[in-house]
Amino acid sequence: MFLELRIQNQVKRVSFVQPGKTLKSIADGGLRRRLLKGAGATALSPVISAIVQLGSVPLLLHAWGAATYGDWLLLSAIPSYLTFSDLGFGDASGSDMSVRVAAGDRDGALETFQSSWILVSAVSLVALLLAAIATWWFPWQAWLKLSGVSNVEAVKVVMLLGAYVAVSQQNGIIESGYRSDGHFATGTFWILMLRLSETLVATIVALAGGTLVAVAATYLAVRCGGTMAYALYMRQLSPWIRFGFRHARWGTIKRMAAPAIGFMAFPLGYALTLQGFTVVIGARMGPIAVVSFSTLRTLSRMVLQVNTVMKHALWPELSRAFGEGNVDLSRILHRHAWRATLGLSLVGGLSLWIVGPTIYGVWLHHGIPFDAACFHVLLAVVVVSSLWELSAVIPMSTNGHFRIAMIYSAVALTSLGLTWMLIPLMGTVGGAVALLAGDGFMSLFVLRAALAHTGDDRKNFVGALFVMPRFRQMHLSAR
């Protein structure tokens, strides 16, 4: 049988749901265990990010100097726009497969997997070929104000990192296989190990005297080997998930088009707010300003990395809950997660406000001046963005996020334009203010959508924020 959930007078279709599956059966099926394992795996993410970001920056600055490292930041920002080449099918297939597997429809999940894999592989290859042709026509050195890299070297770096992004697209599809069959924690752990490995090897190459081209080639080589191993291990855990063409269907691709485009818009928005700001600041103020803004943002986002743990741990469980028709559990999970995220963001932001200048000075050996005004605004950005990104997981878990994603892309583009105008007046602080304005708007909009999806109302939601969370109470309410 099939079930249609009617939420706020809108029909949200959840495919292949077995009505006999209740809130009690989900809790008895190991909700606590899955959340703890998922949180444990994703808890490594901020640790790995700290090692990758906080560890590699001073080493690369030592190996290359501030100007050359600024060149690296500018050039590495360009290929990030190729992340849209997976058309969002990586995340869309993960949510779709999780719902289907939870309902016992492995055939449908395999159809989704193969259809998504073929499309992503083909589009990534075409995008890379087009980028290879277009790259040679850009005057990279003049356009980005590169200090010590020739135009030919810039092209090589951009192309190698573009290939790196294309290979990385495969990880999104493979991860959906891990997630859908109950191996979310395992898949998350190994992809984090791959990220750590490639950064360590590439940093060693840089310290050994490697050029930007050599480091870019190292990232690509390690990613290729790691992706192959990642795929082979998934096949060992879930032999029923197979790469191939036999189960691919054009109808499946069309059915997933809207949610996939929505997921495509998210990395586009992230690229605009992360790498896009790097490019604009570099074009307006030069590579030294890029290093200052990027390092301040990296330090401020340590708080956001912690909250990301909760978001990714909840995602597969929310897909399962909605797939079982369990809106009550999704509402409980959202309330507890939002309360915890708010508390962690405020405490973490206040802590960095106090000790941030000291950490920054020790981290960069006082080589880059600390911009307190810019840093304080960036801390506010982290608090606000962590809240809306958490609530966005609610519609994302059921592939109902299309409108949110489109609005986010528009807001990100608007923030980028605002940054261009504010920089002459405020310097790098203008970029931070533009980010805060965009995230503030998104927080209000996304929270409203999340409450509608979970059948919650604003008054009860706000009241629940002041109740001490108890997992046992949530577990028993599921019986």
Per-position DSSP letters for 394-424, written without gaps between them? HHHTTT--HHHHHHHHHHHHHHHHHHHHHHH
Residue 88 is predicted with a pLDDT of: 63
In this prediction, residues 381-400 reach a mean pLDDT of 86
Cα Rg of the chain (Å, integer) = 22
Angle between helices 184-207 and 31-42 (to 10 degrees): 0
How far lies 274's CA from each of 90, 119, 291, 315, 423, in Å?
A: 21, 27, 13, 23, 16
> 245: exposed, middle or buried (C-beta count within 10 Å: 0-12, 13-18, 19+)?
exposed
pTM: 0.66
In this prediction, residues 137-154 reach a mean pLDDT of 76
In this prediction, residues 410-439 reach a mean pLDDT of 89
Judged against a pLDDT cut of 50, whether residue 339 lies above it is answered with yes
Alpha-carbon gap, residue 445 to 123, rounded angstroms = 32
196 falls in which pLDDT band (50, 70, 90)? very high
**pLDDT per residue as tens digits for the range 185-195:** 889 899 999 99
Residue 223 is predicted with a pLDDT of: 95
Q: What percent of the chain has pLDDT over 90?
A: 18
Going by C-alpha positions, the residue among 63, 207, 79 that lies closest to residue 155 is: 79
Judged against a pLDDT cut of 50, whether residue 273 lies above it is answered with yes
The domain ranges of the chain are 1-42+273-479, 51-255
Judged against a pLDDT cut of 50, whether residue 478 lies above it is answered with no
> 35 or 105: which carries more pLDDT confidence?
105
How far lies 268's CA from each of 75, 83, 194, 386, in Å?
A: 17, 8, 23, 18
**Distant-in-sequence, close-in-space partners of 356: CB < 8 Å, separation ≥ 6:** 299, 300, 375, 379
Length of the chain: 479
Judged against a pLDDT cut of 80, whether residue 304 lies above it is answered with no
Q: 242: phi > 0 → left, psi -120 to 50 → alpha, else beta; which?
A: beta
DSSP count for the chain of H helices, then E strands: 22, 2
In this structure, what token pair is assigned to residue 180?
Answer: 């859908």
Cβ atoms within 10 Å, residue 361: 14
Residue type, 405: A
Residue 92 is predicted with a pLDDT of: 78
In this structure, what token pair is assigned to residue 238?
Answer: 């879930």
> 138 or 220: which carries more pLDDT confidence?
220
Which stretch, 21-25, 91-95, 257-261, has highest mean pLDDT? Answer: 91-95
9-18 burial, b if ≥16 CB within 10 A, otherwise e? eeebebebbb
Alpha-carbon gap, residue 470 to 325, rounded angstroms = 23
331 falls in which pLDDT band (50, 70, 90)? confident
Enclosing H/E stretch for 4: strand 3-7
Alpha-carbon gap, residue 414 to 439, rounded angstroms = 11
Alpha-carbon gap, residue 279 to 401, rounded angstroms = 28
Q: How far is CA 116 from the centre of its chain?
A: 19
In this prediction, residues 6-30 reach a mean pLDDT of 39
Judged against a pLDDT cut of 90, whether residue 376 lies above it is answered with yes
Going by C-alpha positions, the residue among 349, 356, 384 that lies closest to residue 372 is: 356
